[in-house]
Structure 1
Amino acid sequence: MLLRLRVSLPDRPGVLGQVARAFGVMGADILQVTVLERQAGRAVDDFTVFWPGLFEPGELRDRICVVPGVRVDGVWPTREAPGTNPDYDLLGHVAGEPERAVVTLVDAIPDVVSAEWAVVVDSGSGSVLHGSWQAPEEVPAADLTPLRASAVTRDGLHLACVPMDGAHLVVARSQGPPFHQAELDKISRLTGVVRALARSAAGREHASGAAGRSGCRSG
């Protein structure tokens, strides 16, 4: 299975090698390392590993933590296989079918940030406009109306909220750590690009329709 581990470690030479060796001893194959932040002498990295399941994921966490100064902030399953680039796929689908931009964004964004589900909520009524296939029938985040991108945790559920035009996108996961600022920024940027593509396509369609009507009148 594919696992994502968020690891906080001292930002000094040799520590990353020690962590890699600890993964190897446990039989985990490191597929990708993403640096989320580096500050105050520490780094926060996301490791994507192939885990053959010889032990429980919790034991993998415990073994990694034996490296001095290392802390594992979360271990959770991921569908984001290295090299698959789900964010590029998302934008490609939106460019091809801009009229389905919001639906495509909601359906695809959980895989982009290793989350479980997403919904887009009307900011006025609080009603769910569209939910991904794993979204619950009753969304506990329906009352969130963020004025800016934000990440919160409610009753053990980690939520990332990004405003849209008259609505807001909510991405959720119950496993793993809270959304990091780097993940929130990624969701915000992708949402912004998706909105821009949809508006651009709508503008072209409106201009084309107006030109067609003008042509009919002149004829």
Structure 2
Amino acid sequence: MLLRLRVSLADRPGGLGQVAKVLGMLGADILQVTVLEREMGRAVDDFTVSWPGAADLDEVRDRFSALPGVRVEGVWPTREVPGSAPDYDLLMHVASEPSRGLATLVDALPGLCGAEWSVAYADGAVLHSSIAAPELVDLPEPPLRAATVDGEKVRLMLLPMTAHQLHLLVARAEGPCFHRAELERAVRIVDVVSALAARA
């Protein structure tokens, strides 16, 4: 089972080693580490791990709570295979068939963003939705710029696609709030896809 584990820890030598040791004791194999931020003596890292069997999230949190200065911000399943390049694959698909750029982007965003589903919408109507999107989506008021919204049951990322006069909504029910590094990456991907799709 592939999981993403978001950990906040003191940004000092040996910090990552402590996290790796605990993951090893739990039987997890670290496949990838992504540094999301390093500020004011702290770091926020996403670990992609191969987990043997079902993960006991309470045990994960308990083990890490024993480490001084370490906080687990979220643990959730992921489909993103470390070492793959899904963002480049998406851009290649859009470049080869720009007329389907919007649909391709909406279908790819959940995998790219560690989310469950996404939709494109304009004027209060859904234009395209990914396969796991619910039939009825409560569409938020479109923001002027990219933003995140943290609800009780679902976390949202809202991405304007200004050139096409529409918005994209990406939803994560499992895992933590979208980090600003995830938002910035999604904005760049949307901008490139928008430019490519405009050629159609």
Short-chain TM bin: over 0.9
Give the equivalent residue in structure 2 for 1:110: 110
CA RMSD in angstroms comes to 1.1
Report the 3-state secondary structure (helix = DSSP H, G, I; strand = E; otherwise coil) of the residue aligned with 1:19: helix
Give the equivalent residue in structure 2 for 1:91: 91
Unaligned runs of 5+ in 1: 203-219
Instruction: For 2:17 and 2:34, locate their aligned partners in 1 and report how far apart those are by CA, in whole Å.
Output: 15
Give the equivalent residue in structure 1 for 2:119: 119
For the pair 1:35 / 2:35, whether they are aligned, the reply is yes
- Residues 1:74 and 1:55: Cα distance change in structure 2 (over 3 Å): closer
Unaligned runs of 5+ in 2: none
Deviations 1:24-50 (A, max 9, x none): 001000000000000010000000000
Give the AA of the match of 2:145. R
Give the AA of the match of 2:89. D
Give the AA of the match of 2:196. L
Instruction: For 2:80 and 2:51, locate their aligned partners in 1 and report how far apart those are by CA, in whole Å.
Output: 14
1:16 deviates by: 1.0
Deviates more, 1:146-155 or 1:94-103: 146-155
Q: Which has the higher contact order (CA 8 A, sep 6+)?
A: 2
Give the AA of the match of 2:185. K
Give the AA of the match of 1:139. V
Give the equivalent residue in structure 2 for 1:132: 130
For the pair 1:192 / 2:194, whether they are aligned, the reply is no
Give the AA of the match of 1:60. V
Equivalent of residue 147 in structure 2, options 146, 150, 161: 150
Contact map agreement 1:23 1:64 (CA 8 A) in 2: no
- Residues 1:111 and 1:133: Cα distance change in structure 2 (over 3 Å): same
Deviates more, 1:148-157 or 1:58-67: 58-67
For the pair 1:174 / 2:173, whether they are aligned, the reply is yes
Give the AA of the match of 1:197. L
What are the residue-to-residue correspondences of 1:193-208 with 2, within 5 Å? 193-199=192-198, 201-202=199-200
Give the equivalent residue in structure 2 for 1:210: none
1:154 deviates by: 2.2
Report the 3-state secondary structure (helix = DSSP H, G, I; strand = E; otherwise coil) of the residue aligned with 1:146: coil
Aligned residues between the structures: 198
- Residues 1:90 and 1:55: Cα distance change in structure 2 (over 3 Å): closer
Instruction: For 2:50 and 2:61, locate their aligned partners in 1 and report how far apart those are by CA, in whole Å.
Output: 14
1:55 deviates by: 4.8
**TM, length-normalised to structure 1:** 0.88
Instruction: For 1:74 and 1:169, locate their aligned partners in 2 and report how far apart those are by CA, in whole Å.
Output: 24
Instruction: For 1:81 and 1:146, locate their aligned partners in 2 and report how far apart those are by CA, in whole Å.
Output: 32
Instruction: For 2:58 and 2:115, locate their aligned partners in 1 and report how far apart those are by CA, in whole Å.
Output: 19
What are the residue-to-residue correspondences of 1:10-21 with 2, within 5 Å? 10-21=10-21
Give the equivalent residue in structure 2 for 1:53: 53
